[in-house]
Chains A and B, each alone.
Chain A
Amino acid sequence: MAEQLLEVKNLETHFNTPEGVVHAVNGVSFHLSEGETLGVVGESGCGKSVTMLSCLRLIPSPPGKIVAGQAIFKGDDLLKLEPEEIRHVRGGQISMVFQDPMTSLNPVMTIGKQMAEPLMVHLNMTKEQARKRSIELLGLVGIPNAADRLKDYPHQYSGGMRQRVMIAMALSCNPQILIADEPTTALDVTIQAQIVDLVKRLRQELGMAIIWITHDLGVVANLADRVMVMYGGYIIEEANVYELYANPRHPYTLGLIGSLPQVHQDAHKKLFSIEGMPPVLYQTPNLCPFAPRCKWVTERCWQENPVLEQIADGHRLACWVDTKNGSNQA
């Protein structure tokens, strides 16, 4: 097994709101190996973005607060670094691509200037060096006439091209980890396929590890080595990608997979839908957070929150019910 590049232990993040303290991330532990692609799946508000933002200390504080946990990256705990030090990690060694390519670029700055900024800050490049490198990077992500297009403003780029620019910027300082937060959600399927292909190619060329946050199980199936499913601020199931799709165990994972219409199968049946809505947790629950929406729910689910346990090699699950055989687990 490769060396762990990032190891997160018992991460807990809370948000203070007028309605009370929202427990957004509740003791999440996971690791990322070198060169690995980890898919993080869940609905809006399940804590997937907050988990990753917490690791980079990008949570607005207040109202957010990282209450407990560690995020060990190359021997250092990211959560304890001085502000100056974490700034070097962000954008340099760990970089991030955000969901909305329309709003994450500065509309009144040319693409060239925006791309040069991290290069000049992190790698101490001169303006001219940064310009050359920007052209190289835009070429790398497949933007034609890169030299001319540096003078353009974001509104002159299409959505797919803006996302390419975001990826180019994230790659500019040769990061070891790329965190992509729903990078293709706002894009068309054909453009999404282009971006996924681009990321696959870059992963091979540059050998970085990727954390891909999404709610689209289809994209993850295509890209990730390992998948982590989150719900209510907990990891509820984790397995390698083949295992997870062939052998999903948690009722929520089953529901997510079932709610997708299958393109390559011939059937017109009612979609499996998970009734109700994801919870907002104002306290650490003493029941399974999924219990109110679960159709396998048992007495025990209302009384105890299941812990994440290894059920097979590399397959972790937090559920009291054996969804496979329909009986309670020991």
Chain B
Amino acid sequence: MRISQQVSAHDERIVLLHFEGDLNASDCDATSKIFQDIIDSRKYFIVALMENVTFVSSPLLGELMGCKLRLVEKGGNMVVVGLNYDLRERLIQMGADKIFQFYPDTHTAYNHYHWEYTQTAQVVNITLPPKLQSVPAVRRFIAGIAKQKGYTSRDSFRIETIVDEIANNAIEHGDTSQPEITVELRIDRKKFELLVRNKTLMDKANQLKYVLEANKETAQTGDTRGRGLALVKLISNSINVSIDKSGTEVKITKMREDS
């Protein structure tokens, strides 16, 4: 086994560890020392580059798991990059995929790092015509982003519901002459924020405020108004409505459930 290390040019908080050859049981002590030296230098994020690794023994895999645990305890992590197909399959059989994230290249590993540890957010702006038929594609698109970003199926479904209800509301109660509705989505590892802007008639906008402030928490069979907003209020963490002559702005925040 040969290991070399370098600080990433991409971000100095990341250390790239290049592994080569067979990683045998006899390499455990040396591996442990290298990791400890890195931790002592206060660097807690390691990308293990394994494109030139031909074998990983069970004891050394165990050692790597222990090293990762030490990093996690310091608020860091280690991910594995560049495994060949056979080695990747073997590591999966050994259960290593439950402990380590495997990435095909360093670029993807850096993306993971930024998403998980540097509060990076993704912002998506969508403009849609004020037609109910335009909403399903938008709600599924946004739910898909949430799922792709690691939100649970339950969270993604709730996000889909929030987008659907708020967009439908903006269309159904909006000024019929409004040219468009804008939807702004900001999503990061911990929370999802949705901002929907449209032109709403003032009396409708005041009804909207009334429904929100009325603290409705259930829907009766004869009660057809406000059920969607009541639902959104119950599945989100905050909802704010601002109304002025230029239009209505609804802002919803939902925290990721496993954050």
A binds B: no
Q: Which residues of A come within 8 Å of B, CB atoms?
A: none
